[in-house]
Structure 1
């Protein structure tokens, strides 16, 4: 049976979140705006305001809800997490307030899944407590997100004391929050002759390790200083780390990364619903407040069309996200085979960029010159849709993977014409029912 109801106890939590995010988290957006400012742990003013809000979230049992109970979290499951993230997605500060900010969420998940007891104590716990931030350092300047093009290497070496270490040499690109991180998770080639999925390993690299050279902190749209962004181009210049700083198994870097990236994609999709719902609210308010050509903006059919399309598209995408979340929960519960959610997560990754672009874009259009000004958040949001297009893997790659997955399950037509060729089907129908057309 399909049941779309939400149990009253959890609905009460959602209702509290709705009010809290609007009143508190969106207020933080106004007081401390800017890309990645929520990761700046040295900002004493913002942190002083943040901590009491985080304590309220923890008291409600809503902290770090992306982790299941086996990983140290409350274990709400992905469907409930989707409903929560719709609300969290309204505000840029809300993920930090609720302990679910990327890239720390994904990094926490793989530390919980693959880390040793010592690694969890040293790195996972302070990350979950919100005391530090981390960095996921995977993509490379010459190869982007294609692991087949990665050249950053990690080699076994012996130090002067006779102890085994790993030496990392190479460059990484767009390593978000590297300049603020306490540690970096670095994916490096450890066996170049191995098959692609066994070629790399994942390493925990403390940020104060000698040899980590940030060549440049790349800025993106929305950053105020083009020379001081939050996405680092890094040279790992013979960076030495202890042998026990590998995360997961030797050659298991691809597996670790995939475990992280899948969760990141669905969480981006969940939050996109919330952001687009907020843009729709702005659109609706504008439609019933602004007059042009002698009548309300909302009385014009073109405006009504934009609103209707936005409502429909948000609801369609929301249902896709919730179904995907349900499938993930079914896989986790052992009721569906491993990998069942992969193509659905890909659909969410593909759909979120178009939804974000279209809905936020329409809202911006309805606000006219005010919409493109920085007096409204819409221009900043609209430019940000390109970040989502590349986060956790380029959208075009997911389109290709999705199409190939469906083509693999399709049988080629038997003969010259397609299966749905009417003359062939009609002839077959007449063979089965030769007297069907007789008067």
Structure 2
């Protein structure tokens, strides 16, 4: 299950990521809570902050993917991770000195989004250079395990820290945590990376990446499904804050608890994914349907405890969906196109948040606090069923085995 850790470069990367991701998740909780405090609990303000943070992905993710194909990914990561740490440092200093106001948080959300939009496609496409194609699926799953281990522990620490000493010290802790990931990348041995030849600078390279995906129906279907579910179904950074504060009347530690419980599920889902050697479209589609159904159930739970427990299987389904999508995309593309395709993947994964964030915030403020999470589940189920039908008709997935014994005409009627 931990095969990729035998690679020294990946061990250095993973050790730094574990520490840094803990700080990132702590900052996410603190940032959301700070916005709610500065805006008197406005879900719309929270949606605006999310929109500003993810808006740069719309314009920069594709260009970041092209940079990843042209340039040294390791050197790019060193600079971008440093910039992300500086954003956390500035926000922390503003907060602990007591001068922070909402517009400053908005500006730093946008800057953080700029650097994250550039960093994410580079980091995603760098994984295969560290471990090679044979270990890619395992490495993607281990990345998810680290991400969700941090997601499980970080929010709980953040909730306790916010109640004890305030949000500012959480931001400063995150700034310090970036030292670990920068050091890990710096200490790598470049000679042992599985690098593809850099793509020479030519006109139309960005469009060629888009055309490549457009003429690959399998990749296009995965991208579309990821866009809708990530935009409307995976807004937990916002929906859980709204549920904790406005529905269950809890404090920051209540938000941290809900975030930790869903992270328990995502960690379990990532652990299961690490055992699989090859991603399957049937698992991808099935996880999307199950995720949507479970999200609806969680959103309707009457108490915070019952919702928190319901979030555990939601996390399992969500991480199965995410890891399968990521590995499917990376293994299906040519090495020379990987950066651009992963840039497009991160664009559809994050780029819908500038629309989905404010929309879900509006629903939470003007309809009901439960509306964003329930409607997100409904959208996820609907688009997953449509994608399943499309892939089934193309022959990319098969009917469940229990239908194989039925006459052909009856099966066609079910489709």
The reply to whether TM is greater than 0.5 is: no
In our comparison, the structure showing a higher alpha carbon Rg is 1
Greater strand content: 1
